[in-house]
Amino acid sequence: MVTDSPSENTSVFGRPWVQLVLGIVCMAAVANLQYGWTNFVNPLNAKYHWGLAAIQVAFTVFVLIETWLVPVEGYLVDRFGPRPVVIGGGILVAIAWSLDSVASSLAMLYFAAAIGGVGTGAVYGTCVGNALKWFPARRGMAAGFTAAGFGAGAALTVAPISRMIESSGYEHTFLFFGLLQGAVVVIAALGLLVAPISYLAAAPKRSQSARSFHPTEVLRKPVFWVMYVMFVLVASGGLVMIASMKPLAKDLGVAKIPVSLFGFTMAAGVFALTLQRIFDGVGRPFFGWLSDHIGRENTMALAFIIGAGALFTVSQSGSNPVIFVLVTALYFGVFGEIYSLFPATQGDTFGGRYATANAGLLYTAKGAGALLVPFAAAMAVRSGWHSVFSLAMICNLIAAALALFVLKPMRVKHFEAIRAEAANPVAAGGSVQHAAGS
């Protein structure tokens, strides 16, 4: 069914680094649907007085739909190739923010969020899965650079979006950027191709699976569910921060205070959002690269512990505008690595052929984490942000312990079982036949 394989296409697009760049461009173009959302929360509330918790339900709907449909979108990619799925995603992204520009009820706001979730998930899941297939020996680096597009893609537009909202209203801003972002995705998607079969058959490293596991097999593996729980634990805190940065800066009294750093002077709220996107974008490929060298689990534990320390610092000293800007940027610099390390880890663990669909299964953990966003917004109103930070900090530390003391030994046993299966295929029996048939 897939016809755009580079084995049949000798154009310049049939090169790994070209495919990686196209994926990064697509990811950057949809980043604002998640990271730009916080700019619109207060203007929406000022116009309609729906309340922050009710408005943030739209963010939760977006993330739930974005993540929970990725396995389906991954199946479509594995069957039809990346190009049509990403083009469809770009069209939906444009429709979503166009609807947001005229939404006058919470129901319309939630519907637009759902449309945006489908579109963003189609782009995100496809581009990450494609990177894993084109770079089987450097999955951490490839997934990191691709995810960096999503993490840093909003950095260049944080200030323009804020200025346009102030000068032209949030409605015009939604419409303008929605159409622009959708068009960029559609154009970049025209060059996406399927990785050659030879890339998927490359000799695996010792910490990589020698065969590809079908998604139905993956769901029966305990190692998958350990990764899933870890993903939920870390993603929940980060998503709360993403959705709440503007209200948080306002509550801490730092949003409008000028901060001068690195030769620039900006209001702390805008400076923080800009620097967060930059650190997030740099952190994803860095930690992906680091994990290619020191191991996935060791890198996870390091990042999660640093993240817990950053959350503690913000909870204690976040009312200092300089500390708020720098430490929240540090937090996002280590938070975003989950979007490079977890896809790379599952690709290593379960093979490359079904990497897009399997990465999509794991990515649904982000949706589970998003369920806590409205809860956290209500908790912040009731008990203060300190309680929110404390809960997120504990989740990070639990995830770090799981990485070192549970996931790491489980993956060692997983690879040993695969090597034993390859050495004695007769004893392995049904699972080998299944692998061949799939």
The answer to whether residue 274 scores a pLDDT higher than 90 is: no
Query: Distances from the Cα of 304 to the Cαs of 240, 254, 330, in angstroms?
Result: 16, 26, 12
Residue 1 lies in a domain: no
| Mean pLDDT across the chain | 85
**What's the pTM value of the predicted model, to 2 decimals?**
0.75
DSSP per position, 362-382: HHHHHHHHHTHHHHHHHHHHH
- What tokens does 115 get? 């449309």
pLDDT value of position 207: 61
* 217: Cβ contacts below 8 Å, ≥ 6 apart: 350, 431, 434
Query: Residue 138: how many CA atoms within 13 Å on its side-chain side?
Result: 14
Rg (CA), the chain: 21
Q: How far apart are CA 417 and CA 96, in angstroms?
A: 46
- Give 432's pLDDT tier (boundaries 50, 70, 90): very low
What pLDDT, in 10s, does the model give residues 378-415?
A: 787 788 888 888 989 999 999 999 999 999 999 999 98
Report the DSSP beta bridge partners of residue 267: 258
Residue 121 lies in a domain: yes
Report the DSSP beta bridge partners of residue 266: 259
Q: 114 lies in which domain range?
A: 12-195+213-419
pLDDT value of position 172: 94
Q: Any idea what DSSP says for residue 424?
A: -
What pLDDT, in 10s, does the model give residues 104-126?
A: 999 999 999 999 999 999 998 89
| Tally of structural domains, the chain | 1
- What tokens does 22 get? 């196209």
pLDDT value of position 79: 80
The predicted model gives 51-75 an average pLDDT of: 85
- Amino acid of residue 308: A
* 438: Cβ contacts below 8 Å, ≥ 6 apart: 212, 214, 353, 354
DSSP per position, 131-171: HHHH-TT-HHHHHHHHHHHHHHTTGGGHHHHHHHHHHH-HH
Residue 3 lies in a domain: no
The answer to whether residue 341 scores a pLDDT higher than 70 is: yes
Q: How far apart are CA 222 and CA 225, in angstroms?
A: 5
Burial class (CB in 10 A: 0-12, 13-18, 19+), 202: exposed
- Give 7's pLDDT tier (boundaries 50, 70, 90): very low
The answer to whether residue 433 scores a pLDDT higher than 60 is: no
The answer to whether residue 347 scores a pLDDT higher than 50 is: yes
CB 137 within 8 A of CB 368: no
Phi, psi (degrees; rounded to nearest 5) at 267: -60, 140
pLDDT value of position 435: 44
What pLDDT, in 10s, does the model give residues 300-316?
A: 999 999 999 999 999 89
What pLDDT, in 10s, does the model give residues 8-28?
A: 455 788 788 899 999 999 999
The answer to whether residue 429 scores a pLDDT higher than 70 is: no
CB 272 within 8 A of CB 328: yes
Residue 68 lies in a domain: yes
Report the DSSP beta bridge partners of residue 261: 264
The answer to whether residue 174 scores a pLDDT higher than 70 is: yes
- What tokens does 27 get? 């990811």
CATH of the domain at 131: 1.20.1250.20
Residue 89 lies in a domain: yes
Residue 425 lies in a domain: no
Q: Count other C-beta atoms under 10 Å from residue 333's C-beta.
A: 25
Residue 432 lies in a domain: no
- Give 83's pLDDT tier (boundaries 50, 70, 90): very high
Query: Residue 21: how many CA atoms within 13 Å on its side-chain side?
Result: 8
Residue 7 lies in a domain: no
